[in-house]
Homo-oligomer: A and B are copies of this chain.
């Protein structure tokens, strides 16, 4: 099995505030083709240490990947240091400078002279085009080894790796096939999920199963390795089906989809539309639903009714409801959902009103108290939650609970 080492470059990654996350993504991709990551290094904009890190890594491992340090400023040293570490020259590429000038022109700006540095490439290296940024990457084959040099921003590095380096490494790594599947579960805790599914996954010792907790959901990762791709996929399908029937509708995704993608697919498949009325989430649910490309087919309108006046004005919540029950109540949540649906003419509407904190909590309604409303032409209802966490987490959990409530209602509504 081939070994890889990953070197993340950038002084900001040596501060208490930032950490290298590129290596996690790269590790997953490498593991998928049976390549093991043996060592990871984070080094600052420090020529001597970076050179040593690259040299040492190339001594120990067949595949060395660096991320970061390819920007145009003086701090960005990876280009010249990696050339030095492999004892090659940097070669100037006219066509790269021309492309850079063109790119800046499209942005309506002149190219600053320092960006010229980004037109230099290690002698003998393949240029890895970067459609999302100004720094190209490099792939240098060496005797029995290779060095791949990427920019740091994930949205630049990832497509460059996938399009140009992954296929080469796949060939190098031979024919190990790894299949992976991610299930997502809402409304249950980590240990409750494990208690139910442990007897199932333990009867599949060849599948590596891990249960992870993310801030709003549980992920079940299944990994199967097999010489045959179909065989691995078949085992995963079988195990996925067993887990789904044990956990029921709490499993909302079986192929790693997000909650907003799942809700979007359900709406699209049924030709239904939705609108959203948000108070404490401030637009987050609208943002999440419209994160999905093509969401204009089912997302009609959203209202962020932060003030009481806007709840009256825009959603027709009655003054009486607000006065008697308060803005954070099941009555207001239901009135918001109903008002939103009637205003927009959508098939479904959901609403959120709650106390995200840190201020505003009372003994009766502490911080984290959230009401989710739901309305369709036949019924309007609501649910109360009390979420732990800080403001950001309470808002995320509220948006997830609202989307999940909608998902379960669509399933119920359309199965009747």
Question: What is the interface of chain A, defined by CB distance below 8 A to chain B?
Answer: 11-17, 19-21, 23-25, 27-28, 31, 36-46, 49, 52-53, 56, 60, 71-75, 106-109, 112, 114-115, 132, 153, 155, 189-192, 194-195, 198, 210-213, 215, 221, 276, 278, 280-287, 289-291, 293-296, 299-307, 309-310, 313-314, 343-345, 356-359, 386, 388-393, 395
Contact = CB atoms under 8 A, between A and B. Distances in A.
Contacts of A21: 19
Contact of A191 (B72, B294, B299, B343): B72
Given A17-B210, A45-B210, 5 more contacts: A12-B221, A40-B41, A40-B43, A41-B42, A300-B309
Given A12-B210, A73-B211, A293-B358, A301 B300 contact: no
Nearest to A26: B16
Nearest to A198: B74
Copies of this chain, tallied across the complex: 2
Contacts of A71: 190-191, 213
Contact of A60 (B25, B49, B301): B49
7 A-B pairs with the lowest CB-CB distances in the bound complex, closest first: A283-B283, A282-B290, A283-B286, A302-B304, A16-B28, A301-B310, A283-B287
B302 A296 contact: no
Nearest to A256: B17
A210 B73 CA distance: 10
B39 A44 contact: yes
A295 B106 CA distance: 37
A221 to B, nearest CB: 7
22 contacts: A19-B23, A38-B46, A52-B56, A73-B211, A74-B194, A74-B198, A114-B191, A115-B191, A132-B388, A132-B390, A155-B393, A280-B290, A282-B289, A282-B290, A283-B284, A291-B391, A293-B356, A296-B307, A300-B307, A301-B304, A301-B310, A313-B343
